[in-house]
Chain A
């Protein structure tokens, strides 16, 4: 605790980060006991000897899973917005820049919420994407957004704490709005077609292993979901 105080004095960002985390844990009804629990489970999340990043278990593991996906999305749109593809319309530049900001907001939110339980920064591999090509960028954006929605949809049942579930719900509908927008600028009217919505009008869900096998093709970092809850 003394160490944290010292850090707070020398680095105001650490102060605000640790305060935010404390607020978050208090809000989530975890409090002091939960903090101890998170600490005792810390060995479950982190970097394994071969460099694989373990998301950890329980709700913290699910939050790290979401944090990993938001890191990937934020990195992608940051690259997109740093130099737009040829022929980007003014509307596309505005909307894609906003999406970048939303994904950064999500990423930073999870980072602060998880605090010392957060996985490290991921290394991405975007070598398969041609960032100067509208088709390549939008096809990747579509894949990421649809994947993100299905990931949150599939993760809901794995969450124990109702406050975390609500937070996932607040984010997934924004990802769905992104997905619909991207799909419509690729092909107007494809916002909710049969690729993503079944005959009951229900969207796809994917479990973490399915999601990570797709996301993994865009990551240098290796991620393990072995300690995530399965029901």
Chain B
């Protein structure tokens, strides 16, 4: 897996990405090849060592996909935290700093895991958090910043959830991914509370139907969350209990596929 592969996948959903990244693409083509892989020292000493022999290419692909998303989040919070004026209170700045530290820790952890599994960590893309001008004031307006943060966190939860099945053969990697997944959900819940407390959106810590509380621009990150049918079992009013459509949708978070996630993040990649 190299970053060129991720770009190829983005290209299938965002035809313009080829032009946007053509220069970088060339660089990535010479990176992450089999030669580069073979040149890597055999990494030892981590919890993934014993899984080395079982770590398939597809698992490393998943880890690199996750790494790309963590790069996105880590860079986003780093740039946000660089402007203290963005935050109305020290509690807000502190919460964002905590979340940012977790995302940076995820980046470092995933890089180590990929190396220990015999893979090559992808490089960080260059990000444009205005998404080509969609969020021009993302690091100036607290409201816009939190809207993008909420979308990233809720999307991240869906991304990890969508990949769990691809990790089922490797207990260590699966557990690590699950242990990141629930942290992203905690982040999402807190950001949603921050938005509500500031009157930016009538949202709860959990996702109601497919409502973002933000607007159509982020709808792709919420489509499908309205599902109330789980494994063929209708959750609404289940067994005569007073479980509303909203309750039923909130009670289960829904996954997104890698392609869906890549299409969502493509506008943020230069």
The 8 closest A-B pairs by CB, nearest first: A23-B232, A201-B105, A176-B185, A180-B189, A173-B185, A202-B179, A157-B171, A201-B102
B186 interface neighbour in A109, A113, A166, A192, Cβ under 8 Å: A192
For window 232-270 of B, CB contacts with A under 8 Å fall at 232-235, 238-244, 247-248, 250-255
Q: Nearest chain-B residue to A103 (Cβ)?
A: B251
Interface residues of A, dominant DSSP: helix
State the CA gap A111–B230 with chains docked (Å). 13
B231 interface neighbour in A13, A23, A101, A152, Cβ under 8 Å: A23
**Total number of B residues with any Cβ neighbor in A under 8 Å:** 61
B182–A176 CB distance below 8 A:
yes
Chain A residues closer than 8 Å to B182, beta-carbon distance = 149, 152-153, 172-173, 175-176, 203
Chain A residues closer than 8 Å to B217, beta-carbon distance = none
A170–B183 CB distance below 8 A:
no
A200–B181 CB distance below 8 A:
no
Residues of A at the B interface (CB closer than 8 Å) are 13, 17, 20, 23-24, 26-28, 95, 98, 101-102, 104-106, 108-109, 111-113, 149, 152-154, 156-157, 159-160, 162-163, 165-167, 169-181, 184, 188-189, 191-193, 196-197, 199-205, 231
State the CA gap A180–B191 with chains docked (Å). 10
Residues of B at the A interface (CB closer than 8 Å) are 91, 94-95, 98-99, 101-106, 108-109, 157, 160-161, 164-165, 168, 171, 174-176, 178-190, 193, 204-206, 230-235, 238-244, 247-248, 250-255
Task: Known A-B contacts: A162-B168, A174-B185, A180-B185. Give 18 more (CB < 8 A).
Answer: A95-B204, A101-B247, A105-B235, A105-B238, A105-B241, A105-B247, A105-B252, A109-B233, A112-B233, A113-B233, A163-B231, A165-B164, A165-B165, A175-B182, A177-B205, A180-B190, A181-B189, A201-B102
Given contacts A169-B255, A177-B189, A200 and B165 within 8 Å (CB-CB): no
Sample of 5 A–B contacts (CB below 8 Å): A101-B242, A102-B251, A170-B254, A181-B205, A202-B180
State the CA gap A162–B181 with chains docked (Å). 17
Whole-angstrom distance from the CB of B159 to the nearest CB of chain A?
11
B239–A24 CB distance below 8 A:
no
State the CA gap A111–B252 with chains docked (Å). 16
Residue of B104, B182, B231, B255 with highest tally of chain A CB at under 10 A: B182
Q: Nearest chain-B residue to A197 (Cβ)?
A: B183
Given contacts A26-B232, A112-B238, A170-B252, A102 and B206 within 8 Å (CB-CB): yes
Whole-angstrom distance from the CB of A94 to the nearest CB of chain B?
8
